[in-house]
Amino acid sequence: MARKRLDLTFPPRQSLKPVIYHLVKDYDLVPNILRAQIHPAQEGRMVLEVTGPKEAFQAGVAFLEEQGLTVSEAASDIVLDDERCVDCGLCTAVCKPDALTLDPDTQTLRFDKDKCVYCEACVIACPRRAISLTF
């Protein structure tokens, strides 16, 4: 079994095609959409976690690329630099899934990896550049 997070970029002409449906139906893959922003006739982006047999996974990725999508491996982890972080909480304001929170007792930053969708909003919001992504 293979499990990977993929970052998909849809060209405008592909934004309305049911490519995720084909991953399930034709390749027996299980997609979990972590984040998506796709509009008709515009470039779109989706972060997708895909699980399935290794051979089917490779064929499914090849299918996506044949459809004109750009497929790359998505970020695999958030890294917090404790030396740089001053627990200001600015990152918590942009974290929609509440993966980053301030502990109410200690006022220190907490990160819940299971809630994170790797949207990168916290990386941009951090004024001290204490948050980064690894691939």
User: Does 81 lie in the same domain as 69?
Assistant: no
User: Does 23 lie in the same domain as 69?
Assistant: yes
Straight-line distance from the first to the last Cα atom of the chain, in angstroms, rounded to the nearest whole number: 20
Structural domain including 39 reads 2-73
pLDDT at 104 over 90: yes
Q: Which two tokens stand for residue 74?
A: 């998505």
Q: What is the CATH number of the domain that holds 65?
A: 3.30.70.260
Residue 10 class from Cβ within 10 Å (0-12 exposed, 13-18 middle, 19+ buried)?
buried
Threshold 0.75, pTM exceeds: no
Q: What is the CATH number of the domain that holds 123?
A: 3.30.70.20
3-state DSSP assignment of residue 59: helix
- The model's pLDDT over 6-49, given as tens digits with 9 standing for 90+, comes to 999 989 888 778 999 999 999 999 999 988 888 888 888 898 99
